Amino acid sequence: MRRYVFGRLGQVILTLLIYVTLVYFLMQAMPGDITMMYLSNPKIPQAAREELRKQLGLDQSLFMQYFSYMKNFFRGELGVSFSQYPKPVWDILMEKLPRTFVLFLTANVLSFYIGFVLGKVIAWRRGRAIDYAATVVGITFWTAFYPLLALVVIWLFAYNLKWLPLNQFIDPRLWSTAPFTANQVFGNMVSGAAIVAIGIFLISYYLLRGLKPSRRSRVYAWSLAAALVAAVLVIAARKGMLIYIWDITRHMILPVLTLTLINFAGTMLLMRDSMLETVQEDYVLAARAKGLPDHVVRDRYAARTALLPTVTSLVLSLASSMSGGMVTETMFSWPGLGQTLFTAALSNDYPLATGALAFTGIFLLIAHFIADILYAVLDPRITYTGQSDV
């Protein structure tokens, strides 16, 4: 295992190096640079433009720029933003990360869960009406024109029915007097969610362990879980954060809904396929022969082993959505990494754009890594030895 991990790590770093280099030169190859904004105002003398070039180090040769960039990169600095000179790119990204993270984590987990359940069901009912219906509907959403769908959803639920807040991720009227920043709240939300998740996992692990937990232990589990959630909420309330968390949640619903609509089909179809393979396994037949109830055979035998590939897909999609949210974030006025990347590109802010892309790259690499480990955890058959390409 260790040898595997190290081998993999080496690979990761090499890949990252090449990736960043590619991104960097790609950006440099683009026409125009930030100083072109001075062209919009004739009163700005040429001298000023030269000065700016000097400040941003654009007067140096491309390779000098590249090397200094790389040097910084491995010191963990992503350079200084042009459009927000002299603000470090890292700070800007860190400021955006929590929002993007919370939104897409929620959306991905939800759409994954729905996709997983649906896929399970339609694979089990394969060939029946529900199978076709779900597949067709799923594909239609999967291939729906996303920006349009987003607009329609907003128009329908927020504008026409007035059910949910229009856009943005918080309501300024509430927040204008907020004692803390949105990012603090996001941070607390993440940690809170984590606590609840882990808590519930442990509860279900210890109390609902085994195959047929007694009613008593189930009641315990439930009440404990509920208590945990309540506790977390109370803490939030004591901090005076509850209302703000609530506000953010309200604003999250629409984007999450849209993302889920778009994405659930991916998991669903993947789940369906991999489950169609597992249902033909002998142990599924054996399980039925054992006289296990239908849903047990489905969930614990067919689905459980079919889960593996879909989990990897979840991890990867999570990572890629760290920047894939460009459309969502623009449509829902949800300023995150994606939007930053877009505006950076539009304003020729190479360091920021490069930084954002590199950042995603790192995220994805880590995700791949985690995915492999997860695989090993979920499937007892896999044990990692020297060779790395699994």
Partner 1 sequence: MNELVPTHETGSASLAEPLWKIRWKLIRRGIAQNWEIFKESRIGMLGIILIIAFGIFGAMWPIMINTVWDPMVYDPVVGFDPMTMHPSPPSATHLFGTDPIGRDILAQLMYSTGREFLLGVLSAVITVVIGTAVGTAAAYYGGFIDTFFMRIADIILLFPFIPLLVVIGSMVRLSFLPFAVIMGVLGGFGGITIILKAQALSVSVRPYIDAARIAGGSDFHIIVSHIIPNVLPLSFLYMMFSVTSAILSEATLSFFGVLNIDMSWGMMIHTADVAGYLFDFAKYWWLWAPAGLAITLFCAAFYMVGRGLDEVVNPRLRKR
Partner 2 sequence: MKSWKGLLATLIITVLVAAIAVPGFAGSNGLYEMSIFENPTTFNLFSATGPQSTVWNDFVASSQYYTSLYGLAQPYMIFVPSVAADVPSELKKEKIGGTTYYTSIVKMRKDVKWSDNTPLTADDVVFSYNAILDMDPNKLGGNWPSIVDPTVLERVEKVDDYTVKFVLKEKPGLAQWQYGVLQAYLLNKSYWEPVFAKAKKAADPVKELFAYEPVGEPVAGPYMFAKWEKGAFVQNVANPAYSMKGEVTTFYEDGNVTIENPKTGFKWQSGKPTGKVQLKVTEGPNASGTLYRILGNQAAAVMSLIGGQVDFILNSLGLQRGFQEQLSQAQGVSVMENNVNGFRFMMFNLRKYPFSIREFRQAVSVLIDREYICNEVLQGIAFPQYSVVPPGNAFWHNPDAPQLGKGLTRTEKIAEAVRLLKKAGFSWEAEPQIDLENNKVIKRGKGLIMPNGEKMPSFDFMIMTAGYDPLRYTFGLNIAQWAKDAGIPMEAAPTDFNVISDKIFEEQDFDAGLMGWSLTAYPDHMRWFFHSDQAGIGGFNPQGYSNPEFDKLADKFMAESNMDKARKQAFELQEMLAEDLPYIVLFDTPIIEAYRSDRLEYPYTQILSGLQRYGALTSTVKLLK
Partner 3 sequence: MDTLLRLEDLTMHYKTKAGWVQAIDGVSFSLDKGQSLGLVGESGCGKTSIAMSIMRLLPYNAQLVKGRILFGGRNLYALSDEEVRQLRWKEVAMIFQAAMNSLNPVYSVGNQIIEAIVTHEPETGEDEARERVESLFELVGIPKERMDHYPHEYSGGMKQRAVIAMALACNPSLIIADEPTTALDVIVQDKILREIEDIRRKINMSMIYISHDVSVIAEVSDVVGVMYAGKLLELGPADDVFKRPKNPYTYSLMHAYPSILGEKHDLVTIPGEPPNLLDPPTGCRFHPRCDWATKECGETAPLWREITEGHYLACHNPIRTKQGKSCKQQKTAKGGDVIDTSDGN
Q: Which residues bind partner 1 (CB under 8 A)?
A: 15, 18-19, 22, 26-27, 30-32, 126-127, 132, 135-136, 139-140, 142-148, 151-152, 155-156, 269, 273, 276-277, 280, 320, 322-324, 326-327, 338, 341-342, 345-346, 348, 353, 357, 360-361, 364-365, 389
Compute the residue count for the chain.
390
Of residues 48 and 289, the one with the C-beta less far from partner 2: 48
Which residue shows structure tokens 């990204």? 93
Coil vs helix vs strand at 80:
strand
Q: Does the protein bind partner 2 through residue 154 (CB under 8 A)?
A: yes
By CB under 8 A, name the one of 283, 295, 366, 390 that touches partner 3. Answer: 283
Q: Does the protein bind partner 3 through residue 299 (CB under 8 A)?
A: no
Question: What ranges in the chain are assigned the alpha helix state H?
Answer: 2-29, 46-56, 62-74, 89-124, 129-142, 146-153, 172-175, 182-206, 215-239, 242-278, 282-289, 294-296, 304-324, 326-331, 337-346, 350-378
Instruction: Give Cβ neighbours of residue 332 (< 8 Å, ≥ 6 apart).
Output: 150, 154, 167, 168, 169, 254, 255, 258
Of residues 238 and 381, the one with the C-beta less far from partner 3: 381
Q: What residues between 199 and 238 interact with partner 2 by CB under 8 A?
A: 200, 203-204, 208, 218, 221-222, 225-226, 229
- Quick one: tokens of 51? 């000065």
CA distance 99 to 105: 10
> Backbone phi, then psi, for 88, in 5-degree steps?
-65, 135
Name the minimum Å distance from CB 381 to partner 2.
21
Annotate each residue in 259-298 with x if it binds partner 2 (CB under 8 A) or - if it does not, as one string: ----------------------------------------
Q: Does the protein bind partner 2 through residue 174 (CB under 8 A)?
A: yes
Cis peptide before 86 (omega within 30 of 0): yes
Annotate each residue in 302-341 with x if it binds partner 3 (CB under 8 A) or - if it does not, as one string: --xx------------------------------------
Instruction: Give Cβ neighbours of residue 39 (< 8 Å, ≥ 6 apart).
Output: none
Q: Tell me which of partner 2, partner 3, partner 1, none is bound by residue 208, counting a contact when its beta carbon lies within the kind-specific cut-off of 5 to 8 angstroms.
A: partner 2
Site residues (vs partner 3, CB under 8 A): 210-212, 214, 281-283, 285-293, 296, 300-301, 304-305, 378-381
